[in-house]
Structure 1
Amino acid sequence: MAGGAREVLTLQLGHFAGFVGAHWWNQQDAALCRPTDAKEPPGELCPDVLYRTGRTLYGQETYTPRLILMDLKGSLSSLKQEGGLYRDKQLDAAIAWQGKLTTHKEELYPKNPYLQDLLSAEGVLSSDGTWRVKSIPNGKGPPPFTNARTPKPVMPTEGSIRVWSDFLRVHLHPRSIYMIHKYNHDGEAGRLEAFGQGESILKEPKYLEELEDRLHFYVEECDYLQGFQILCDLHDGFSGLGAKAAELLQDEYSGRGIITWGLLPGPYRLGELQKTIYRLLNTAFGLVHLSAHSSLVCPLSLGGSLGLRPEPPVSFPLLQYDADLPVHCGAILATALDTVTVPYRLRSSPVSMVHLADMLNFSGKKVVTAGATIPFPLVPSQSLPDTLMQLGQATPWTPLSACGDPSGTCCFAQSVVLRGLDRARHTSQLTPGTPLPSPLHACTTGEEVLAQYLQQQQPRVRSSSHLLLTPCKAVPPYPYLFSSRLSQHGLLLDAPPARTAVESIPVLGALCSSSSLNRALGDLAKDLSKLDLRRWASFMDAGVEQDDLEETLHELRNLAQCYESGNDRLVD
């Protein structure tokens, strides 16, 4: 692997994980396709950590995500399970049977107009039925020349996006997509609703062996595998599937990092009682089992609560989004994910997944919270010390782990990333002799500014911080959620710019081991203990027993107590 990259294998489990993952991979793809005249220097982030090189049967080089993706029947829309880069040998094999054949052809989903336009721009379908790609950008050189008169591509509308595959613009390897055909994505019957159902999938030899084969395929070609990141739905049966997958990884790849991102879609409605109760049960079982088998677990959600009490979704001063649309929620969470995962994706002096987890998960604190400021509010005339001083003593990021308002809580350890700031803005621009407004203005580097700010905010807290020039990409099909006052590069202007679409943004992101988890996990345990399980026998019928529930409740309370501070006490 070029440059000795510390590779990461991503497991993406569930349909909402698909929305977050599609935006995540689109952002990685946009970073690979950076224009040659870009101002930011290339190379801060190493794409080889997440991507792998390959070659088609026609000798064409490919660069695809190191990814295993699992979802249900009906979730792919018009996307082919085997992808479009490689010929499927099984389909090409000669049919030995010489007798009469009957063909049963499943009705095809109409292709999203955006993907039709994307494919026509990226390749051609040859007469033998093989897709020949014009160019696969690999980050090792400039993108191919495109004619300026090429028609502007069709952008997906929110109404045209039914599933995550409707806006995924990244080509996948044939070993990436693994469909679970025994459950349906659509309809009321045959749904993967309960934790026990998800667990049972990987107890079946055919599913377990196929997953193991795919893991071995990707792992064996790695030179310096640092670990696995799991994007996993927490609210449905994929919670159980993710727990079994994490257990498998822990057993087979001991010593590697396993960081799990437990994903929850937007706010839920109390009127959907069974979904609400199942969401509670799946989340509780998932957090307990995932934390037992992962190096680190982080819930990610725009909702305000993990428990039964509905809370309004979080808000961002410079974003307008619809919390009921997975394509909106997925974009915001992917942007946060793209930022907080920076430490183990750096080209120079990376922090390994294991070391990042060790810094945050001491004393049994394996669950962490995430937060982000999207975008970071930087005015063109201001420096980083100016902006941080204006933020004051308030928590500088919006919470993204459904653990409530973090005000007044205690932080035990944190990893913070600020990205997308020009080097000229890193330190004070005051003329010599001008009285300094704050100690931050005396710092000589941006890294020192950020570290001192965090020290002022949370004294005696173990902190790690990174400052990057590279911004987060927000080009289509990223939805347009931004304030009209933002410039092309996400700077906050006094008046709306003329005809300028936001293409990149500065972002502040953080992972925190926080005492807010004492209350959040404690409330989750309280809600769980109040359930009359006789009303929800169908959840238990899926493979969970009463003893399992009691053990989960016990472990959840123990986990909550790990986050007690001097001012917090878990109430039974």
Structure 2
Amino acid sequence: MAGGAREVLTLQLGHFAGFVGAHWWNQQDAALREAADAKETPGELCPDVLYRAGRTLHFFVEECDYLQGFQVLCDLHDGFSGVGAKAAELLQDEYSGRGIIAWGLLPGPYALGEPRRNIFRLLNTAFGLARLSAHSSLVCPLSLGGSLGLRPEPPVRFPQLHYDAALPFHCSAILATALDTVTAPYRLHSSPVSMVHLAEMLNYSGKKVVTAGATIPFPLVPSQSLPDTLVQLGGATPWTPLSACGDPSGTHCFAQSVVLRGLDRACHTSSQHAPGRPLPSPLHACSTGEEVLALYLQQQQPRARSSAHLLLAPCKVAPPYPRLFSRLRQQGLVPDAAPTGPAVDSIPVLGALCSSSSWNRTLGDLAQELSTLDLRRWASFLDAGVERDDFQELLQELHGLAQCYRAGDGLEA
């Protein structure tokens, strides 16, 4: 993708990564077609997408006017986690100073009745996280599952979506929607935020592994404003977690990048309050949507370093995107009554990347589960080239990463 000579090269590695990438390219291509047919709002997302297959990365790098960095989309649960880690290592060596953001992709839920497959999934995930964090600016697992460990958890729920977690076609579409939203800050036509700047905001003190979350779609009722909707969300985390770290309630956020897209400007602030009456909340006193979102994030996580972007452009969900929005209006808004009319073709989305203390527990639990394994029972994994010393080093790396996310070690805003 390229925008204002701020190119990003994306490597797509793995079977499930192919599903996610296909949906993502389709969504960007839909935005490109619309931009060609209508007046484009200045400062919005640059939808320029060029998909090519090739064997020589240098050729694509040489075509770039200003290369921000690289995105590595790779399966995290199988051997492609190692391929992705090696790719990140080579990119780091060859293009030092460029941003490298790795998206570790995991398909839907798994079954307890497949112990061998689950052990290999656990090992690949752990090695992938550790190696990718060593060679990338930022690493973010993306999954609709509830856990990275051996004990399966139910898939996450979206109140307005009807999806089958066992279908890669459904899961990948949802993850692509989140991916298209959270990567927006460094894909804008005019924005001081680059890939490197975003990574530096989130990865300080060694916190290179971040969580993703999204509200798909953002639950705005046509008769309400953005302040009304945010007040109704209350104090709970407003997005559904997408990094298999469990329930985020009670966790601490050190830094976060939040994007809200697809709301008409008229909805950004509240203008329907009677003179002389107290405002429902401080959010209703804000004069711009950007102020509303920034104040809301400050109220939710007062000690976190936050970056917020409010975009007019919605996320495109026209075919071949699966029909997951049976209860929504065409623009993705929540109906007051039973919806009628055309199928949904675009939706508002709230997406976030967060450096969260939940990784202290998740990485620690991952290391604990690995420490109970007897590798002699899984000789085929060792036959693939993994040494016992590599395994012990992995445990140390996971424990070291987990310590970076202790709740008391955050940098106050």
Aligned to 1:408: 250
8 Å Cα contact 2:2/2:46 also seen in 1: no
Question: In structure 1, which of residues 506, 528, 532 is the aligned counterpart of residue 370 of structure 2?
Answer: 528
* Superimposed CA distance per residue, residues 428-451 of structure 1 (whole angstroms, 9 cap, x where no aligned partner): 122451421000000000000000
Deviation at 1:477, TM superposition (A): 0.5
Alpha-carbon distance in structure 1 between the residues aligned to 2:403 and 2:301? 21
Aligned to 2:324: 481
* Superimposed CA distance per residue, residues 37-61 of structure 1 (whole angstroms, 9 cap, x where no aligned partner): 758737611134xx3xxxxxxxxxx
2:29 paired with 1:29: yes
2:143 paired with 1:304: no
Q: What secondary structure sits across from 1:33 in the alignment?
A: helix
Q: What secondary structure sits across from 1:547 in the alignment?
A: helix
Deviation at 1:35, TM superposition (A): 7.1
Deviation at 1:482, TM superposition (A): 1.1
Q: What secondary structure sits across from 1:428 in the alignment?
A: coil
Unaligned runs of 5+ in 2: none
Aligned to 2:303: 460
Matches within 5 A, 1:290-329: 290-329=132-171
8 Å Cα contact 2:256/2:352 also seen in 1: yes
Matches within 5 A, 1:3-152: 4-34=4-34, 41=41, 44-48=44-48, 51=49, 64-65=50-51
Give the TM-score normalised by structure 2: 0.96
8 Å Cα contact 1:257/1:295 also seen in 2: yes
Deviation at 1:566, TM superposition (A): 3.9
2:273 paired with 1:438: no
8 Å Cα contact 2:42/2:189 also seen in 1: no
Structure 1 residues 286, 2: closer, same or farther in 2, change over 3 A? Answer: closer
Deviation at 1:3, TM superposition (A): 6.9
Aligned to 2:108: 266
Give the TM-score normalised by structure 1: 0.70
* Superimposed CA distance per residue, residues 69-103 of structure 1 (whole angstroms, 9 cap, x where no aligned partner): xxxxxxxxxxxxxxxxxxxxxxxxxxxxxxxxxxx
Alpha-carbon distance in structure 2 between the residues aligned to 1:3 and 1:499? 35
Structure 1 residues 7, 482: closer, same or farther in 2, change over 3 A? Answer: same
Alpha-carbon distance in structure 2 between the residues aligned to 1:303 and 1:295? 24
Alpha-carbon distance in structure 2 between the residues aligned to 1:445 and 1:564? 35
Matches within 5 A, 1:112-261: 173-175=52-54, 210=55, 214-261=56-103
Unaligned runs of 5+ in 1: 52-63, 66-172, 176-209
Alpha-carbon distance in structure 2 between the residues aligned to 1:420 and 1:302? 23
Residue type of the alignment partner of 1:293: H
Matches within 5 A, 1:360-379: 360-379=202-221
Question: In structure 1, which of residues 380, 395, 408 is the aligned counterpart of residue 237 of structure 2?
Answer: 395
8 Å Cα contact 2:213/2:241 also seen in 1: yes
Deviation at 1:460, TM superposition (A): 1.7
Question: In structure 1, which of residues 405, 416, 425 is the aligned counterpart of residue 267 of structure 2?
Answer: 425
Aligned to 1:178: none
Structure 1 residues 478, 411: closer, same or farther in 2, change over 3 A? Answer: same
Structure 1 residues 266, 519: closer, same or farther in 2, change over 3 A? Answer: same
* Superimposed CA distance per residue, residues 168-208 of structure 1 (whole angstroms, 9 cap, x where no aligned partner): xxxxx352xxxxxxxxxxxxxxxxxxxxxxxxxxxxxxxxx
C-alpha RMSD over aligned residues: 1.7
8 Å Cα contact 2:8/2:68 also seen in 1: yes
Alpha-carbon distance in structure 2 between the residues aligned to 1:268 and 1:2? 37
Alpha-carbon distance in structure 2 between the residues aligned to 1:411 and 1:345? 24
8 Å Cα contact 1:5/1:46 also seen in 2: no
Aligned to 1:359: 201
Q: What secondary structure sits across from 1:47 in the alignment?
A: coil
Aligned to 1:333: 175
Deviation at 1:567, TM superposition (A): 11
Structure 1 residues 317, 404: closer, same or farther in 2, change over 3 A? Answer: same
Pick the structure with greater CA Rg.
Answer: 1
Deviation at 1:32, TM superposition (A): 0.9
Q: Which has the higher helix share?
A: 2
Alpha-carbon distance in structure 1 between the residues aligned to 2:4 and 2:335? 41
Alpha-carbon distance in structure 2 between the residues aligned to 1:234 and 1:44? 32
Residue type of the alignment partner of 2:389: D
8 Å Cα contact 2:5/2:64 also seen in 1: no
Report % sequence identity.
80
